[in-house]
Structure 1
């Protein structure tokens, strides 16, 4: 099993994603990362010939990433939740929409 470090992990907020490409905000550094869990999502299809499975085709769909951080700052929490920070106070509302992070 290979060990992959989490030092200096950065995120970028996806602002636009269309047929011409994706646009992101400037990357920002996350707080100290404790652990990360990657869950790949794949799909498989059996190819039959002469009533038996001749081949199994597996394709990659996506990967879900879960990162545990130490002491998430108000600014980072607001970015993740779609909330805002006003005068050092996290303002949350039911209209908050979490942003897509990549």
Structure 2
């Protein structure tokens, strides 16, 4: 079980990041709805703020995507190492039975 623990923690971290990004997206939607009814004087600063938040969300999504890809590759390496160990053990047992 201990070999799976880091992946579980990494997935929990990614899940929290996704939830935070979803919250930011929700805020962008609310701001866009609010900006639609705003006078021009306050509209432009609101739009600037929305674009900044949007850019931050984009960066967070790219970071999450990288984290997911790294987790997948880590799991692939773990499985390959496990397969190599199993096959090495089988080969050793096979050689031992042939020697007898």
- Going by fraction, where is helix more abundant, 1 or 2? 2
Higher-Rg structure is: 2
Length-normalised TM-score, structure 1: 0.24
- Going by fraction, where is strand more abundant, 1 or 2? 1
Q: For CA contacts below 8 A with separation 6 or more, give which structure has more relative contact order.
A: 2
Length-normalised TM-score, structure 2: 0.25
